[in-house]
């Protein structure tokens, strides 16, 4: 099974991928959240033969929704309507903080956040 991890943001969307057999999360790319988003996602899904999509859900420390959580849930619903693939939401608390530790200052954390999210998910399976 090939898995795509998505760190959804208002401006950028970070992507990582893995095969469930390999249990290694690999950074893929960052795409802009604009009119090309759905086309680029479709290309990635086809190229990597994605069977499963994991989307980071930004909850606060009280495990309740934030404004961004509402946007991500809407994105998840649109993903489900556009692609015949299983989509799972996954608690992404602290992934951005961890990502900041692993990348040079000033670089986008989106792709690293997606990779960490997928790595955590794979470790729990």
Locate 97 and state its tokens.
């903080």
Average pLDDT, the chain: 86
Helix (H) or strand (E) holding 43: helix 37-47
Instruction: List pLDDT tens digits, range 27-53.
Output: 899 999 999 999 999 999 999 999 999
Helix or strand (DSSP H, E) at 27: strand 26-32
User: Which domains are present in the chain?
Assistant: 2-124 (3.30.420.140)
Rg (CA), the chain: 13
Q: Where are the alpha helices (DSSP H) in the chain?
A: 37-47, 67-82, 95-102, 110-124
**pLDDT band (50, 70, 90) for residue 104:** low
The dihedral of CA 78, 5, 122, 69: what is its sign? negative
């Amino acid at each position: 099974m090939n898995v795509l991890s998505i760190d959804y943001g208002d401006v950028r969307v970070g992507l990582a991928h893995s095969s469930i057999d390999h249990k290694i999360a690999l950074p893929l790319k960052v795409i802009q959240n604009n009119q090309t988003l759905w086309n680029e996602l479709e290309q990635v899904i086809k190229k990597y033969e994605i069977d499963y999509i994991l989307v980071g859900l930004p909850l606060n420390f009280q495990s309740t929704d934030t404004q961004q959580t509402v946007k991500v849930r809407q994105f998840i619903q649109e993903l489900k309507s556009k692609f015949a693939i299983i989509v799972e939401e996954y608690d992404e608390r602290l992934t951005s903080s961890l990502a900041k530790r692993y990348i040079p200052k000033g670089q986008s954390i989106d792709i690293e956040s997606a990779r960490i999210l997928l790595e955590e998910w794979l470790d729990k399976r």
